[in-house]
Amino acid sequence: MARRLAKQGGLDLAGVTGSGPHGRIVKVDVEAALAAPAAPVAVVATAPLAAPSGPGAKELADMLGMAYRQEPLSAMRKVIASRLSESKQTVPHFYLTVDCEIDALLQARKQLNGTGEGLKISVNDFVIRAVALALTQVPAANASFDPGGLLMYEHADISVAVATPAGLITPIIKGAEGKGLGTISSEMKDLAARARDGKLKPEEYQGGSFSLSNLGMFGVKDFAAIINPPQGCILAVGAGEQRPVVKDGQLAVATVMSCTLSVDHRVVDGAVGAEFLAAFKKFIEQPLTMLL
């Protein structure tokens, strides 16, 4: 509140004495400084405020005598914090969720991996392929916002979130719409291994037209991811689990996977997002169509 009032009034906080705990400047200090005839006034930069309005984590822990160990921020963690804060604050997110039955996909995966060709296709490889093919059917979802006009990408360059000891990184399967499951699988294994070893080249993780984050292997049922700027969408994939479903008026059991699309409303409208999810769901539930 104090920072906001100072910014609105053009007040330089460097010249204000705080009366709050540990000398913190509070609302009444700013109001008094703005009301004083000789209050020092300066133009305040319009950059986003990085500090929260209340006590920071370290300050609060120190005040309350909480035990902790502080680790310095890595360069990657600083970038993650900056980009995702910017995304959540400036990008108008909305969310769409669809449930996909994956029993046919699991059966197709089992058959492919049992051919003796050395294939080890994962569910995530199928998801990458389905996303890429859905984007070719709904190209309006393969876009980014730019003040000069929307960028409509010609290829499905899929950024895939990979957890590393240093933080999250998104290596890219480029031109995924033109690659089969075997190629996607081998590329993803190579990219993920080098990502964890910190050996990716910048062009292998910078860019991308659409992001995918899969936490299904951790048992997460569903979640909503933050858009990876400047992309327009990110798909969050949960775990496949057996759930009761109704088929032809009869109760049955199916393996169901919940997927949530986070969308930049400046780029993609609700109808386009729904159309993309419908195409994605069809590919996931009819996996043989991905082999054509």
CA 57 – CA 127 distance, rounded (Å)? 38
Compute the radius of gyration of the chain from its Cα atoms.
Answer: 24
Give the CA distances from residue 257 to residues 86, 87, 132, 154, 159, in Å, rounded to whole numbers and listed in that order. Answer: 30, 26, 18, 29, 20
Of 140, 137, 152, 163, the C-alpha closest to 80 is 163
Instruction: Based on the residue annotation, tell me whether 93 is a catalytic residue of this protein.
Output: no
Question: Rounded to an integer, what distance in angstroms lies between the CA atom of residue 177 and that of residue 18?
Answer: 59
Catalytic residue, chosen from 22, 93, 155, 265, is 265
User: Positive or negative, the Cα torsion across 241, 210, 133, 124?
Assistant: negative
Q: Which of the residues are catalytic? A: 265
